[in-house]
Amino acid sequence: MPVRVSEFSWQQTPAAVFLSLPLRGVCVRDADVFCGESYLKVNFPPFLFEVFLYAPIDDGNSKAKIGNDTILFTLYKKDPVMWETLSMPGVDKETMQRIREKSILQAQEKAKEATEAKATAKREDQRYALGVMMKIEEEERKKIEDMKENERKKATRELEAWKESQRQAEKQKSIPRKEKCQRGKQAEERGTPKPPSLPRKAPSAARLPQRGRNWENIFSEKLKEDSVPAPRSAGNIQISFTPRAFPTALRESQVAEEEEWLHKQAEARRALSTDLPEFSDLKEEEKNPDWLKEKGNKLFATENYLAAVDAYNLAIRLNSKIPLLYLNRAACHLKLRNLHKAIEDSSKALELLTPPVSDNANARMKAHVRRGTAFCQLELYVEGLQDYEAALKIDPSNTVVQNDAEKIRNIIQGTALKSRD
């Protein structure tokens, strides 16, 4: 049974309330502080302090400072009036339970709104980055199209020049033939006699014309070689395929979500802050979050839950981006009956286990089950059932989760029947 703290002091102004709560050995690492509009709770095992405030406060701007065996609260009032007492007078157990549940639901709604706002801002940043990338790709595509057009025009000009040179060569060959034909016609018209045959042996009739044709062919081939443009240079394109880190086929995978998950895991491994002065006195292995996680797991197996929480706390201080640290610490808080802390750690683990891919499906299912268990132990069965149903969507064949969800449904139905009676 927790030891309820009744010794405290408080002062007030029309705008704020200053509450001093002495707790021996209290520290930021182990104190569980929950603050709502009308409800304030501090859980520091084995001590428990809770107060149902006289009037609502601005829980978003209120502050708590922990140190020197004391917790100092600065609670800002919503209405600037003086309170008669710190706590609400004449509160029965039913009203207390209703205020607790209302405060938890309000805290969840605010956390959900903050998460949605963060997701919206992230989507806007992604949309802006996508627009910039599309603009750059459009400029690159236009540049490539311009280069292709210039090459096409250049090739067209070279082809036209080659055709023109061919036409000029044909004209040069046809001019001597026309002159020879014209001289023969003029001689026939004038009646000029043919020259007498020479007495010596004439060369073979077939050799001279053949020799003339050979020279003409050599000349035309040489002209063609000079006018034909040189062939384009050849090249090779190197292609490399990136290996996939996930075992599923590419057509069945959500590539963007998987790449984002791998990127977050790489950032978590790089986000070590062991160079800070507060970690200078630690051993080398104690600066490794993975070693601390394994140590916490061994302590949990021996039912030394407080020591396991200490190990997970130090690992989270070294690297706050590893979701399994929050998930394992939530299991310890469940054993220690720190239910609100278990809900917070499970929610933090689910926040880090994004995007949802097959590699983190088992961890997401455990986070939903542990948060649902904490809700049920707080008698918030509807919220607990929602988490169990979310776990079943991830692993529908898990019979243990199915049986627990069915038991929660029976409890909810039995409560509803009692309220009707």
Distance in angstroms (rounded) separating the CA atoms of residues 378 and 339 = 7
Q: Among 7-11, 25-29, 361-365, where is mean pLDDT lowest?
A: 25-29
Distance in angstroms (rounded) separating the CA atoms of residues 111 and 54 = 25
Distance in angstroms (rounded) separating the CA atoms of residues 389 and 401 = 9
Q: What is the pLDDT of residues 229-258, one digit of tens each?
A: 667 777 788 877 666 655 565 566 666 677
Indicate the CATH number of 3-101 among 2.40.30.260, 1.20.1070.10, 2.60.40.790, 2.60.40.10: 2.60.40.790
pLDDT for the residue 216: 54
pLDDT for the residue 173: 77
Helix (H) or strand (E) holding 40: strand 39-44
Class of domain 260-420: mainly alpha
Q: Looking at per-residue confidence, does 150 or 286 come out higher?
A: 150
What one-character-per-residue DSSP string does 222-279 give?
A: HHHHHHSPPPPPP------PPPPSSSS-GGGS-HHHHHHHHHHHHHHHH---TTSGGG
Side-chain-side CA neighbours of residue 226 (13 Å): 10
Q: Looking at per-residue confidence, does 253 or 54 come out higher?
A: 54
Q: Compute the average pLDDT of residues 262-272.
A: 65
Q: How confident is the model at residue 204 (pLDDT cuts 50, 70, 90)?
A: very low
pLDDT reading at 354 higher than 90: no
Q: Compute the average pLDDT of residues 273-279.
A: 49
Three-class DSSP category at 319: coil
Identify the CA nearest to 269 among candidates 313, 310, 324, 309.
324
Question: Residue 309 in contact with residue 336, Cβ under 8 Å?
Answer: yes
Q: Among 69-78, 201-210, 260-269, 279-288, where is mean pLDDT lowest?
A: 201-210
- As a whole number, the mean pLDDT across the chain is 80
pLDDT for the residue 29: 77
In the chain the first and final C-alpha atoms are separated, in Å, by 33
pLDDT for the residue 276: 47
Q: How confident is the model at residue 206 (pLDDT cuts 50, 70, 90)?
A: very low
* Sequence ranges of the domains in the chain: 3-101, 260-420
